[in-house]
């Protein structure tokens, strides 16, 4: 390409700033709900909605809001595939922009224990890592896609894990949106219960990970068994 890596990164940042500014000014999620008429042919409405879903997702519009709109507009049967397809489209757009414009400039900056560990995990176990990230609610969707683009994870495992991992929560939001007018219905209660349980599980996983990474308290010493301390001449000393 003609542009240098840092010029491409600057272009990516400018695009993201412009997208976020547009989202804050125009509220595209409202346009989706109010602008699509029920008189529009079904295939046309679904196609427009799916494309708009993908663009909004790449521009950091919260996916739950758009998934609720999918359920309100199209119901569960048609809204779920449209929302999942829009999710995959948005992640592909984010991943493609991040890889094309940001990877070469940002990869040399991956220093430090946690950054290198995360990059190694995504690069070696891309499908499994992305599937776990997509299954956990509360993880910033678009930001994860842009960050994954800096790693060496392939397109196929990234998109497949995104589709499979995002489907359960997406469907729950679509069901909740399609039954929003009757919040006491079994479908609405089941969907909200599923979202609450998965959210609590995500908090628990994050809390346990934080506990495992907690550093030792100041002044705390780790004692080694006799004969294994540094400098000793025990059976496991360096001279043996």
For residue 149, being part of any structural domain is answered with yes
**Among the listed residues 133, 138, 99, the one whose alpha carbon sits nearest the alpha carbon of residue 118:** 133
The overall pTM is greater than 0.95: no
**Residues of the domain holding 92:** 5-210
Average pLDDT in the 128-135 region?
Answer: 90
Residue 187 lies in a domain: yes
Residue 97 lies in a domain: yes
Examine residue 236 and state whether it is found in any structural domain, yes or no. Answer: no
Q: Is 11 a member of any domain?
A: yes
- State how many domains the chain has: 1
Portion of the chain with pLDDT greater than 90, in percent: 38
Interval 50-94: pLDDT, tens: 999 999 999 999 999 999 999 988 999 999 999 999 999 999 999
pLDDT tens per residue, range 179-227: 988 889 999 999 999 988 888 877 776 676 665 554 544 544 444 455 4
In a domain, 121, yes or no: yes
Examine residue 162 and state whether it is found in any structural domain, yes or no. Answer: yes
59 found inside a domain: yes
The model's pLDDT over 135-173, given as tens digits with 9 standing for 90+, comes to: 887 788 999 999 898 888 999 999 999 999 999 999 999
């Amino acid at each position: 390409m003609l542009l240098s890596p840092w010029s491409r990164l600057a272009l990516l940042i400018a695009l993201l700033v412009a997208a976020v500014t547009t989202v804050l000014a125009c509220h595209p999620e409202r346009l989706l709900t109010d602008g699509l008429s029920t008189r529009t042919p079904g295939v046309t409405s679904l196609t427009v909605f799916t494309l708009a879903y993908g663009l909004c997702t790449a521009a950091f519009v919260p996916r739950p809001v758009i998934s609720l709109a999918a359920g309100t507009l199209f119901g569960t049967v048609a809204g779920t595939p449209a929302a999942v397809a829009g999710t995959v489209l948005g992640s592909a757009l984010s991943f493609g922009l991040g890889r094309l414009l940001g990877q070469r400039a940002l990869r040399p900056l991956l220093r430090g224990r946690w950054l290198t560990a995360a990059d190694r995990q995504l690069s070696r176990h891309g499908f499994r890592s992305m599937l776990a990230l997509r299954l956990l609610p509360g993880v910033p969707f678009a930001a994860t896609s842009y960050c994954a683009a800096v790693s060496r994870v392939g397109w196929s495992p990234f998109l497949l894990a995104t589709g499979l991992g995002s489907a359960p929560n997406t469907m729950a939001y679509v069901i909740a949106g399609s039954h929003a007018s009757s919040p006491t219905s079994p479908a609405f209660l089941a969907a909200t219960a599923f979202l609450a349980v998965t959210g609590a599980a995500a908090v628990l996983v994050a809390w346990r990970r934080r506990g495992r990474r907690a550093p030792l308290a100041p002044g705390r010493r780790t004692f080694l068994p006799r004969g294994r301390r540094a400098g000793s001449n025990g059976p496991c000393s360096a001279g043996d």
